[in-house]
Amino acid sequence: MSAARAQSSTRERLVAVMLRIGLRIVLKPALSPNVPVAWQRWWLHQLSRSARPARGVAIQSGVIGGVGGEWLRDPAATAKGTILYLHGGGYCAGSPATHRAMTLRLARTLPVFAANYRLAPEHSFPAAVEDALSCYRALAEGGPVVIAGDSAGGGLALATALAARQRGIKPPAALVLFSPWVDLALPQRDELAKGDAMLSASWLAACARHYLAGTDAADPLASPIHGDLTGLPPTLIQVGGDEMLLSDAERLRDALQGAGVTVRCEIEPARWHAFQLHAGLLPSATAAIARAGEFIASVLQDGD
C-alpha cells in the first residue's frame, strides 16, 4: 500500500470513529419514543446544517403532482430523466433539507425532486404513499424516473413502485434504496440494534405505530417486502454492515432475486444506518453515492 493510500485509509477510520461517537451522543438519544416528534424534527433540521454542500448544484422549491418539495439541478448533468427522492425519518421526521448530503450529489447524475411528503402521526398510512405516487405520476409524464430513498424513504420508494403497478402507471426506470426499511411487521430487532449508531428498536416501533395507526403492518404498501415484487425495475440496495436494517436489505435482495428482478446489494463493512448522509465528510459515503449515480446512468443508458 502506498503512503498516500495508507494515509487516506487512516483518515477514513478516524473520521468514521468520530462520526459514530457523535451519532451515539447527539442523534440516537433524540430518536426515541420518549422525545416529542416535533422536537425530533427540529433537531434533525439543526444537525443537517453541518452537511457539506456540493458545488454547482442549484436548489429551488417546487410543487409536483400537488406535493411540495425542492428541485436540485446540476447544469453539468447530461443524462436524461429525473430522480424522485424520498427522505428517511421513520415516516415521522426528516425533510428534503435534512437529506441534501445525498440529494445534492445524486443531482450530479440527474435532476432530483425531493418530495416533502406528509408525515405521521398527523398524516398516517397511506398518506406518504399517496404523495409519493402523485409525484411519480407527474414526473413520469416527462420521461424516465428513478425512485430513490433512504430508510423509511427506501421502503416508500419500493411501495411507490408497487402502487404504480397497481394503478397501471408505467414502472420507474430503476430503484435506489439506501438502508431501506421494508418490513414494519418485524417485531424483534433488539439484537440487530446493538451495533447501530443511529437507530433503536423502540424508536422504529414507535414510528411504525404512528404511521400505521391501526393498519395491518403486513400491508404491501406499508411493508413492501410482503408484496409481489415481480416486474420491478433494476434495483440497487446499499446498506451498512453494522446497522439494524441490514436484515431488511438482505431479505429484500433475496426476495427480488427470487422474483427475477435485477438487483445489486452493496454491504459497506463497519458502517451504520444511512451512512451516506455523511457524504462529503466520510469518503466511503461519498463513494457510495457516486456508485449509485453510476448505477443510475448505466440503467438509463441501457434503456435507450
- Give the residue numbers annotated as catalytic, written as ranges: 151, 243, 273
- Separation CA 89–CA 116 (nearest Å): 12
Q: What angle do CA 87, 72, 47 make, to 5 degrees?
A: 50
Q: Running DSSP on this structure, what letter comes out for residue 51?
A: S
Q: How far is CA 241 from the centre of its chain?
A: 16
Question: Which is nearest to 56 in space by CA: 73, 33, 38?
Answer: 73
Cβ atoms of 233 and 158 within 8 Å: the answer is no
- Separation CA 226–CA 96 (nearest Å): 28
- Separation CA 123–CA 100 (nearest Å): 24
Crossing angle, helix 152-166 and helix 127-140, to 10 degrees?
A: 60
Q: Running DSSP on this structure, what letter comes out for residue 23?
A: I
Determine which helix (DSSP H) or strand (DSSP E) holds 201, and give its type and residue range. Answer: helix 201-212
**For 201-293, where are the E strands, in sequence order?**
235-240, 263-268
- Separation CA 27–CA 43 (nearest Å): 8
63 beta partners: 68
For the stretch 48-52, contacts whose Cβ atoms lie closer than 8 Å and that sit 24 or more positions apart, written own/partner, are 48/97, 48/98, 48/99, 48/100, 48/101, 51/100, 51/101, 51/277, 51/280, 52/101, 52/279, 52/280, 52/281
- Separation CA 244–CA 38 (nearest Å): 24
